[in-house]
Structure 1
Amino acid sequence: MINQQQTVLIWCMCLCLLLQACVPSPPVNQTQNPLITVPKTYPEYSRQSPRLSDSSKTQQSNSTADKNWQDFFTDKHLNTLIKTALEHNQELKILEQEIQIANNDIIARQGKYYPKLRGGFSYQVEKFGEFTSEGAGDAATEFLPVPTVPTVLHNHQAGLLTTWEIDIWKKLRNATRSAYYRYLASIEVKKFMVTHLVAEIATTYYELIALDNQLQIVTQFIHTLKRAQEVANIQKSSARTTSLAVKRFEAEVFKNQSRIYKIKQEIIIHENKLNALVGRFPQQVTRSPKQLDELIPKEFKTGVPFRLLENRPDVKRSSLELMASKIDIEVAKARFLPSLGIEAGTGYEAFSGQYFITPESIFYNMAANVTLPLLNRQAIKAAYFTANNKQIQSIYNYNLTVLNAYKEVANQLATINNLNKTYQLRLKQVKVLTESVDIANMLFQAARVDYLESLLTQRDLLEAQIELVEIKRDQFTAYIALYKALGGGWRDNARVNC
């Protein structure tokens, strides 16, 4: 009969283990690796622009996106601003603390799969009533080296206690690996922030130079108007024109003088923006005195989409988060399986300090326990399903990140191509209008044309010159945005072994 009961008990235990092995299977989402679907080359825009080249037939190391910002930006004043920003920008300091927090999480998870050792000391006073089973038993017990157990019992205890959860299913180690991948992802977040910060500083810097150029153009235009106004005064004195011409030129001077203050205000706003990005209070920003059209970007090699998109920090971050979500599924799955723990302790325990540190007062214990969930497993089921859903979410996020990365590159290639064509046409327009202004001034001085034709021609030249500077500014902005879209100079040198 006893053997039969033991057999039934063993079969029940085996059945429980079998039930635990049956982990529920959520629906599997078959998603192709998004990098495989990326086109092999970028759109034809890179071949149509004279300053863009397709380096798909060259090695990745030859692409411009592999250059760090020190090599890509050659302006010494701009490089000084970027270096200062990387040292003092407050948002980067916050991200550095996020990285440290992620690293601390790894340390905490690593400590879970090592034995824990605690030490302690306790003192307890206890007295049982004489008419209780404990009190009567103690009074009748002979206890060497004293005749009887003391009525008031003083218990002294000191010792060590260790607990250890044996990671037989790699649940704890997988949790550490997941934390490690998220730590690497936090590093990519900082890289992504650095890329955006460098691009924003460079864009604002060239916008500031463009405003300086516009200020020079308007100032020169005012001088030209004043000379035309002097000519109109001379012609008025000789009755070759009326006072209307003088007043129109004078009004145009006042109009553009007010425009100067508007440009100066924009300069102050951009300087303050740069100072805020750098992490300092408002002050004058040292910048290049050159004209914007003298700062010609070097030849830009776009490289291969499959490789360059992997160098983007946001793509690498999404990839690392996807890897972490896959490991989280294994961690959640291990919660359905039995867990094995070991507890042990040793030390000294005695009712009197006189006998505390003696061989007879030594105690020790050791126990092993196996626990597994049997009933009401809804919580761990929900956690397992959530881990699967987060993995699918990470896949979609990875797809979206790669798609947006390729889209950004394609958009900037088209922008650069169209801006280059626009700039060439505007340059021809400025050249023609400059010749027209010279002709109009000569004819106006000879009183062969009305003042209005001279004024309108000069005004058209001013607007064309302003627009030419804006187009050149937009070209620099597009090149910077393309550099950022291609990865911003970050190479895939992070180690992911754990």
Structure 2
Amino acid sequence: MLKKHLYKYAVYSFTFSGFLIFVSCVPQSKYSAPKFEIPDSYRTQDSLKVSNDSTNIADIDWKSFFEDAQLLSLIEKGLEYNFDIQTALKNIEIADQKIRQTKLEWLPSLGMDMGNISYQYRSENYYGTPSSNYYKHKGSDAPAKMYVNSAQYISGLSLSWELDIWGKIKSKNIEALAQYLQTHEAKKAIQTELIAKIAEGYYNLLLLDAQMEVAETNYELTKNTLRIVELQRDAGQITSLAIQQTKNQMLVAKALIPSLKQQIAVQENAISLLTGQFPQDIERQAKLATVEYEETLSAGVPLYMVNYRPDVKAAELELKAKNAAVGVAQTNRYPELTIDLSGGVNSMLGKNWFNIPGSLFGSVIGKLAAPVFNKRKLKTDFEVAKLERNKAEINLQKTVYTAITEVTDALNNLSTIDEQIEIAEEQVSTSRLGVKQSNLLFNSGYATYIEVINAQKNMLDNELNLNKLKQNKLLSRVQLYKSLGGGWK
């Protein structure tokens, strides 16, 4: 009776102590999103007509944002064959395999011993004697040297189950899920970057085509001027110096042509690589001056915008993963409750191996193991995990601030581009008129060849500058679209 009461007392004491440990040690790793101060609107120039609605171009996918059919075809090809995209898809598959494994962490581990045959050999100086009475069963005495001390024939199943009393497995699942979702956001970020690069490369090709037209037109114009100057030199009206200076201006325009051809080939090769193709010609149907796009801009409010940025989402998922890792590191410091079950057949003699029920065995072990001193490793892991979580929170804040800054920069780039284009168009118009008038005056003897050369040089520079500004507007729109998240939801 006394033994019975002592047993009950021990059980109750153990249960109560375990309850106190559980209450005091349950990890506190629930995620709560950090709060940052985000401005209500972007810092932009007053001249920019931007609507700060909740609906913005971040809601528009790339198929609707870009209107050039050839550009859309290149983007589709890039999204299908680009090597970085293919790598991102493999990363998603890897993360998917990991999360499938993590979901089964709560299940017990089951092992099977199909046929374990064990012989232990000893010699006469061994401190013991044949403990299994093996030779007694054999009907003979144990030899003096290298006798079989024991023999075992075992087949069975073993099951080990760690009870998730602290939520370790739950934290691991949260961490794995966050990492899995990160791979999807990484894919979106790569897609956004890829679309922007293809669009920028395509618009650069249109710029190079436009610059080629300017260079070829200016070259033909200076060739005609050179012929007129040569005629005047032959008539003794001007010196050979005029020939040299006019020819030099012609060669300036002529030198642009092979340089532009080289740049076009390099840009076509770059786009081919982005689309996962070998170097090839890139078809262009549109011209720089005829590219169509929606003039109305709506960047949305910053708080709404950050919900679309893949890098912002990925940074927050990283914070969630690091927070869950804190929970895992914390639970590693607590006792582990494990239940081990095993059973099967066990025999000293092979002939009795499957003699049932005589060879049956089984065991049930409940184990509560707690780390006591592990050279501070577990505490270090826990403290490092908390610091990694702090780093992830800082990185999230940096990513949010960077996103808002990039949108602001893109808006500011667009704020004065139309005014710059308007001024450049006026410069081109004036310089073209100057070339026309200088040629008329030169042919009439009222202007010198220097004035003609300067007028042609100004026209060349102004036309090249105008084309560059038109491309800058297209690139600024691409950067704005990219900075707003690329239309991925």
Partner of 1:496: none
* Aligned-residue offset at 1:250: 2.3
Q: Which moved more, 1:103-112 or 1:277-286?
A: 103-112
Partner of 2:299: 302
In structure 1, what is the Cα distance between the partners aligned to 2:198 and 2:302? 26
Partner of 2:243: 246
- 1:375–1:246 Cα change, 3 Å: closer
Partner-residue secondary structure (3-state), 1:311: coil
In structure 2, what is the Cα distance between the partners aligned to 1:388 and 1:94? 31
Partner of 2:363: 365
- 1:69–1:25 Cα change, 3 Å: closer
Q: Which moved more, 1:355-364 or 1:415-424?
A: 355-364
Cα deviations by residue, 1:137-186 (Å, 9 ceiling, x for unpaired): 73898x8xx99999966532211111111111110121121111011112
Alignment-mate amino acid for residue 38 of structure 2? V
* 2:313 aligned to which of 312, 316, 337: 316
Partner of 1:33: 35
* 2:341 aligned to which of 333, 338, 344: 344
Structure 1 gap ranges (5+): 492-498
What aligned pairs does 1:155-234 form with structure 2 within 5 A after superposition? 155-234=152-231
- 1:226–1:359 Cα change, 3 Å: same
1:326 aligned onto 2:330: no
1:123 aligned onto 2:117: yes
Partner-residue secondary structure (3-state), 1:112: coil
Partner of 1:454: 452
Partner of 1:293: 289
Alignment-mate amino acid for residue 257 of structure 1? K
1:43 aligned onto 2:39: no
Partner-residue secondary structure (3-state), 1:360: coil
Q: Which moved more, 1:312-321 or 1:74-83?
A: 74-83
Q: Which moved more, 1:153-162 or 1:199-208?
A: 153-162
Partner of 2:438: 440
* RMSD between superposed Cα atoms in Å: 3.3
Partner-residue secondary structure (3-state), 2:307: helix
In structure 1, what is the Cα distance between the partners aligned to 2:180 and 2:134? 64
In structure 2, what is the Cα distance between the partners aligned to 1:468 and 1:7? 92
* Aligned-residue offset at 1:9: 11
In structure 2, what is the Cα distance between the partners aligned to 1:137 and 1:227? 115
Q: Which moved more, 1:16-25 or 1:245-254?
A: 16-25
Q: Which moved more, 1:89-98 or 1:123-132?
A: 123-132
* 1:102 and 1:182 in contact (8 A); partners too: yes
- 1:133–1:284 Cα change, 3 Å: closer
Partner of 2:276: 279
* Aligned-residue offset at 1:235: 3.4
* 1:312 and 1:485 in contact (8 A); partners too: yes
Cα deviations by residue, 1:99-141 (Å, 9 ceiling, x for unpaired): 2222222233233221111111212345788998654873898
Partner-residue secondary structure (3-state), 1:370: strand
Alignment-mate amino acid for residue 288 of structure 2? L
* Aligned-residue offset at 1:402: 0.4
Cα deviations by residue, 1:379-431 (Å, 9 ceiling, x for unpaired): 22111111211111111111100000000011111111122211111111111
1:87 aligned onto 2:80: yes
Q: Which moved more, 1:426-435 or 1:404-413?
A: 426-435
* 1:24 and 1:381 in contact (8 A); partners too: no
* 2:34 and 2:393 in contact (8 A); partners too: no
Alignment-mate amino acid for residue 61 of structure 2? N
In structure 2, what is the Cα distance between the partners aligned to 1:249 and 1:127? 106
* 2:58 aligned to which of 52, 60, 65: 65
* 1:138 aligned to which of 133, 142, 159: 133
* Aligned-residue offset at 1:219: 0.4
In structure 2, what is the Cα distance between the partners aligned to 1:139 and 1:235? 126
Structure 2 gap ranges (5+): none
In structure 2, what is the Cα distance between the partners aligned to 1:456 and 1:140? 117
* 1:21 and 1:336 in contact (8 A); partners too: no
In structure 2, what is the Cα distance between the partners aligned to 1:243 and 1:128? 114
In structure 1, what is the Cα distance between the partners aligned to 2:387 and 2:127? 61
Partner of 1:265: 262
Q: How many residues align?
A: 475
* 2:153 and 2:353 in contact (8 A); partners too: no
Cα deviations by residue, 1:357-383 (Å, 9 ceiling, x for unpaired): 422222221111111123347222111
Q: Which moved more, 1:320-329 or 1:198-207?
A: 320-329
- 1:378–1:489 Cα change, 3 Å: same
In structure 2, what is the Cα distance between the partners aligned to 1:139 and 1:72? 85
Cα deviations by residue, 1:428-482 (Å, 9 ceiling, x for unpaired): 1111111121111111111111111111111101100001111111111111111
Partner-residue secondary structure (3-state), 2:156: strand
Cα deviations by residue, 1:181-229 (Å, 9 ceiling, x for unpaired): 0111122112111111111111111111101111110100111112222
Alignment-mate amino acid for residue 344 of structure 1? L
* 1:335 aligned to which of 332, 337, 341: 332
- 1:127–1:305 Cα change, 3 Å: closer
In structure 2, what is the Cα distance between the partners aligned to 1:80 and 1:217? 28
Q: Which moved more, 1:372-381 or 1:160-169?
A: 372-381
Partner of 2:89: 96
